[in-house]
Structure 1
């Protein structure tokens, strides 16, 4: 992770260190030739040096941006776009073409975010003043995320834990008990773990915000077992990449005979949020636990029981 950040900084400096004229010429040439590789380099340099997240943008986010830039360039080539001066209606038609492909609204939103990042980079390089996606309408999904991708069920989590090795147990419990994002879980170091005080420091959460989360008894037990198997220094996991962690848990689900129930990492985080809300009935506290800035975001993570008002309504006078 540290080496990767350094490489990104080096790339950003290589472009940002050019004179204004040289950078502008490079960007104009890349846009004219629709050079996807160079346009991505410009976007990455701008993201690394000109955004609040900077070089701490997660690999997952960067992959989504890169894919979005490539998709836009392909579309521009197929539809004879002038990238520096696109027609007023072309961005809307681009979004329409994405929707026509049957992409989910969330995927289309990610593609628009990537396109906006590319144009921010072109403006940063002095190649254009255009911001063609500023007023484009983003599609919205009427189905709540917690309905499309609900929390894992308790029996599935328990089945996975029963078959998991110690490292897999800790990873699962960081998701389902501590509510960590996968990037946060893979970045945990032993120095962040305080078993005596029963808490964990999430040193670099989303937006580089730190928070402290409590450790459940089962998670503390798994952490103690993992520490006994390792040197207890550095990172908790030998797993570093998102894809490696996904494959590891996917294989575990297959081992349990429940591979059809495995839906990635976020369903585990939603499990933690739903469990906590059931206990405290307070979205603000759950938002703090999950590291959400907005409580409205937390509402999309918590599955409410269908009969949670039944007893109250029963007593109406």
Structure 2
């Protein structure tokens, strides 16, 4: 008999196994049949079949392979649907697009006001589709090989500024007033804003990763990026919130030993978004990453050490951490204040 905690540990492996099994629907075919099905799907602009083909190729041949994150797969699937919608509207031949077609699509997305980051993800998704079509032998086209997407030269804080400490506190206060999820939402907000976890890391946090001893309170974080793990100190407020949440009775909504019941960031956002709207924050909810940036920005202001902040946040490249703060402005302010 498999105990519930063992079942939870198997969840990610089951998902990976399912992805591998789905890939077999394509690898089990003869090369001629694979090419026929891929060609037919491209002619029909069939989003489900073309996504199935792309997922199979990503699972078998992408750098992360079967470890490709669910978030990446979800983003790519949406990107491929957007590409196919555009190709249908413009009456493109999927198997014979031109570089001008691709560049016109990019220009149209930018003209519509799509964020450069969104355009980049959609282009990456469409490029993955064509790698899969070439793998299936349906085309030899490389339409995205020379595609140009402008660089976003805005500072990271302009694209998505971190919440201030006051804004976080207002949201936490709104969470504390929630009629049924107060402890849960308060704990989630502080895991993101005080420990700086990515939302995917927070949703995969287990109670065995939480150490609440007052002298060494910390979280052991299993990162989906590079499959690294790191230890993050827990603030007194976070420790108190997790302690209060931990003693609550478990419900069927909870996923075994996972701390939070949400399976996806969308599920979590559905409950977190109203907290910021209730707090009447300008612009409302700006996403979970603004909470992570709040932690990184606040920590840098206290430490003045990018390497230390990068280690806590799990950044492989310290330049990523630099996008969390405006060093020049802060240093100039301190210098000018002393004049």
TM-score (norm 1): 0.90
- In the alignment, structure 1 residue 93 sits paired with structure 2 residue 101: no
Q: Distance in 1 between matches of 2:220 and 2:320?
A: 22
Cα offsets for 1:169-224 (capped at 9, x unmatched): 11111111111111110110111112234221212332333222221222112111
- In the alignment, structure 1 residue 52 sits paired with structure 2 residue 69: no
Partner of 2:184: 167
- Once the two structures are TM-superposed, the CA of residue 75 in structure 1 deviates from its matched residue by 2.3
- Once the two structures are TM-superposed, the CA of residue 168 in structure 1 deviates from its matched residue by 0.9
Partner of 1:294: 317
Partner of 1:308: 331
Query: What pairs with 1:23-102 in structure 2 (closer than 5 Å)?
Result: 23-102=34-113
- In the alignment, structure 1 residue 108 sits paired with structure 2 residue 83: no
Q: Secondary structure at the match of 1:245?
A: helix
Q: Distance in 2 between matches of 1:76 and 1:290?
A: 40
Relative to structure 1, is the Cα distance of residues 90 and 260 closer, same or farther in structure 2, using a 3 angstrom cutoff? closer
* 2:293 aligned residue (246, 249, 270): 270
- In the alignment, structure 1 residue 217 sits paired with structure 2 residue 240: no
Partner of 2:209: 192
- In the alignment, structure 1 residue 179 sits paired with structure 2 residue 190: no
Q: Is the 8 A contact 1:8 1:45 kept in 2?
A: yes
Q: Secondary structure at the match of 1:39?
A: helix
Q: Is the 8 A contact 1:8 1:55 kept in 2?
A: yes
Q: Is the 8 A contact 2:47 2:80 kept in 1?
A: yes
Partner of 1:142: 153
Which segment is superposed worse, 216-225 or 14-23?
14-23
Cα offsets for 1:204-246 (capped at 9, x unmatched): 3323332222212221121111221146961001222211211
Q: Is the 8 A contact 2:99 2:147 kept in 1?
A: no
Q: Distance in 2 between matches of 1:62 and 1:30?
A: 19
- Once the two structures are TM-superposed, the CA of residue 116 in structure 1 deviates from its matched residue by 0.8
Q: Distance in 1 between matches of 2:325 and 2:310?
A: 10
Which segment is superposed worse, 264-273 or 211-220?
211-220
Q: Distance in 1 between matches of 2:307 and 2:160?
A: 22
Cα offsets for 1:240-297 (capped at 9, x unmatched): 2211211111222344444844212111000011011112212222222212221222
- In the alignment, structure 1 residue 130 sits paired with structure 2 residue 141: yes
* 1:247 aligned residue (264, 270, 283): 270
- Once the two structures are TM-superposed, the CA of residue 43 in structure 1 deviates from its matched residue by 0.9
Q: Is the 8 A contact 1:58 1:183 kept in 2?
A: no
Q: Secondary structure at the match of 2:138?
A: coil
Q: Distance in 1 between matches of 2:206 and 2:24?
A: 29
Partner of 2:128: 117
TM-score (norm 2): 0.85
* 2:168 aligned residue (151, 157, 161): 157
Q: Distance in 1 between matches of 2:152 and 2:293?
A: 19
- In the alignment, structure 1 residue 235 sits paired with structure 2 residue 235: no
* 1:226 aligned residue (245, 250, 266): 245
Gapped runs of 5+ residues in structure 2? Answer: 1-10, 176-181
